[in-house]
């Protein structure tokens, strides 16, 4: 599966657009709509079009991670999981109770697991609470 325009909009909404490289709350050098990696350099500046292109490139690896779970998903479920993986990482998705519930066919309990991922630096972060609620709502829609 591929992320729909709704899924990309969800990621954009919660990542926000930053055209100058910055250090995110997790201490990672980031640019655009949450793009990280060796391509991001201190002092780097990009356009919105470049940020959108980076997002399109970045999302491919998270789509792979979600597709790799090997479970049947609706488009909304897929989009919610790509947004989740984009934020927490492929390994966290793969090792999560959320993934275990999905693989067991328990989609209702899987949806409830989004809310377990709201902490950063040991604290509950309001932005993550909102994001997980939006992902869970999309997942069950």
The CA distances from residue 91 to 51, 65, 86, 87, 101, in Å, are 24, 8, 11, 11, 16
**Contact assessment for residue 20 and residue 45, using Cβ atoms and an 8 Å cutoff:** yes
Q: Which of 15, 48, 63, 135 is catalytic?
A: 15
Angle, CA 79 vertex, CA 74 and CA 83 arms, to 5°: 150
Residue 90 falls in the annotated catalytic set:
no
How many Å apart are CA 110 and CA 97, to the nearest integer?
Answer: 8
- The candidate with the shortest Cα–Cα distance to 28, out of 44, 49, 42, is 42
- Residues marked active site are found at 15, 24
């Amino acid at each position: 599966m591929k992320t729909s325009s709704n899924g990309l909009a969800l990621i954009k909404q919660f990542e926000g657009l930053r055209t100058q490289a910055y250090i995110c709350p997790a201490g990672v050098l980031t640019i655009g709509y949450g793009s990280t990696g060796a391509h991001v350099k201190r002092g780097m500046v990009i356009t919105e079009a470049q940020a959108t292109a980076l997002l399109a490139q970045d999302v491919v690896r998270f789509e792979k991670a979600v597709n790799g779970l090997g479970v049947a998903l609706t488009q909304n479920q897929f989009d919610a999981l790509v947004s989740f993986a984009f934020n927490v990482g492929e390994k966290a998705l793969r090792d999560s109770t959320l993934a275990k519930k999905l693989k067991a066919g328990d989609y209702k309990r899987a949806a409830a697991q989004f809310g377990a991922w709201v902490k950063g630096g040991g604290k509950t972060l309001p932005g993550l609470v909102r994001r997980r609620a939006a992902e869970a709502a999309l997942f069950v829609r």
